[in-house]
Amino acid sequence: MSEICHTYSQQLMGTTVSLQLFVENLPAVSAVFQTIQALETRLTVNRNHSEVMSINHAAGSQPVVVSKLVFDLIRQAKQASLLPHSCFNFAIGPLVKLWKIGFNGHNVPPAEEIAQRLTLANPELIKLNEKNHTVFLTRTGMEIDLGAIAKGYIADITKLVLASYGIHQAIINCGGNVLTIGSSPLSSNQQWHIGLKRPFAAADSLLGILHVQNKSVVTSGIYERYFILNEKLYHHIIDPQSGYPLDNELQSVTIISDNSLTGDIYSTILYGLGVERGLKELEKHQYMGAIFVTKDKKIIIKSNQHFEFKSLADDYQICS
């Protein structure tokens, strides 16, 4: 194909964000990166000041007014946290801060401390007022953490930004959250080719390639941020039931969906459900496809006709 591809990248949201366009449009590029930066500044819990941090700082004392954009994400985060059997929990902050997985000072905390913080990780104790756009964490020490979904939400918004510049073919990669927009000018069947990473291997080592059009591809896995102590691996998705990293047969779950926020939410939820219950849950969500990768080297594919998968891993067994 003779298409000219323009690639831009910046370090944002603790990762490399890259954008690929097929027309030259620098105002659109800077609008995308500025939007991401502005949203990160509102949503982050890795700095002392942000809209979300102002909610956290007021825990146990008062409701805080937030912008419509932040409120909208928090409303959806609460809904996802209250779904039956959902291990997604946006009130998980006190535990994330205790474990510090992926940050300096990570540790296995004392069991009593985990138990104490678990009582604070309760989404029911987060009160939202739709009319005033206020959020109130009703107990001291509570903390919202949107780390599992902020990138998806932001990726979806960048798609709107690009559309406002008349751009309907692009790909944006927010450190693993990939959003493909429209059809690909790079391949004859107009499908985008997205790599699925091999767990615990070099970044360019792939299990296979997904072929998609106009879809988000989001992975939650145990191999991006973790530490090992006494031969046990501790990764960054915390089980809101136990307070410890979720422990099951999975290495990762990838969700293929129209929007990236949904992909982000369900990659965490299906990760927590494991293969059997995850596949059952997927039956209720025909608008998504998924790939489960297990520790015993199986790749379980449920495409729901949203993608094709070409394996590159002879040592993994494909089940579909």
Interface with ligand ADP by CB under 6 A: which residues?
87-90, 92, 96, 102, 145, 147-148, 151, 176, 220, 224-225, 236-238, 240, 264, 268
Which of the ranges 8-16, 146-154, 253-261, 277-285 carries the binding residues for Mg ion, by CB under 5 A?
A: 146-154
Q: Which is nearer to Mg ion, 94 or 147 (CB)?
A: 147
Q: Which is nearer to Mg ion, 191 or 252 (CB)?
A: 252
CB of 94 to ligand ADP, least distance (A): 11
Q: Report how far Cα 179 is from the mean position of its chain's Cα atoms.
A: 12
HEC sequence for 57-75:
HCCCCCCEECCHHHHHHHH
Which residues are registered as beta bridge partners of 18?
9, 173
- Residue selected from 148, 178, 250, 300 as contacting Mg ion according to rule CB under 5 A: 148
Contacts of 268 (CB under 8 A, 6+ apart): 87, 88, 148, 149, 220, 237
Q: Give the residue at shortest CB distance from ligand ADP.
A: 147
Which of the ranges 23-31, 38-46, 111-119, 145-153 carries the binding residues for Mg ion, by CB under 5 A?
A: 145-153
Residue 289 has φ and ψ, to the nearest 5°, of -120, 165
As a whole number of angstroms, the distance between CA 44 and CA 146 comes to: 8
As a whole number of angstroms, the distance between CA 110 and CA 201 comes to: 31
CB of 145 to ligand ADP, least distance (A): 5
Which of the ranges 34-42, 122-130, 147-155, 197-205 carries the binding residues for Mg ion, by CB under 5 A?
A: 147-155
Look up residue 286 and give its two tokens. 């025909």
Task: Read off the DSSP letter of residue 44.
Answer: -
As a whole number of angstroms, the distance between CA 224 and CA 57 comes to: 29
Kindly identify the residues of this chain, within the stretch 37-56, that bind Mg ion according to CB under 5 A: none
Query: Tokens 């800077």, residue?
Result: 30
Task: Tell me the per-residue interface mask from 253 to 282 with Mg ion, x by CB under 5 A, - otherwise.
Answer: -----------x------------------
Which of Mg ion, ligand ADP, none has residue 137 at its interface (CB below 5 to 8 Å by kind)?
none
Residue type, position 18, single letter: S
Q: Report how far Cα 131 is from the mean position of its chain's Cα atoms.
A: 28
Task: Tell me the per-residue interface mask from 195 to 234 with Mg ion, x by CB under 5 A, - otherwise.
Answer: ----------------------------------------
- Judged by DSSP in three states, 174 sits in strand
Which of ligand ADP, Mg ion, none has residue 236 at its interface (CB below 5 to 8 Å by kind)?
ligand ADP
Applying CB under 5 A, which residues contact Mg ion? 148, 151, 264
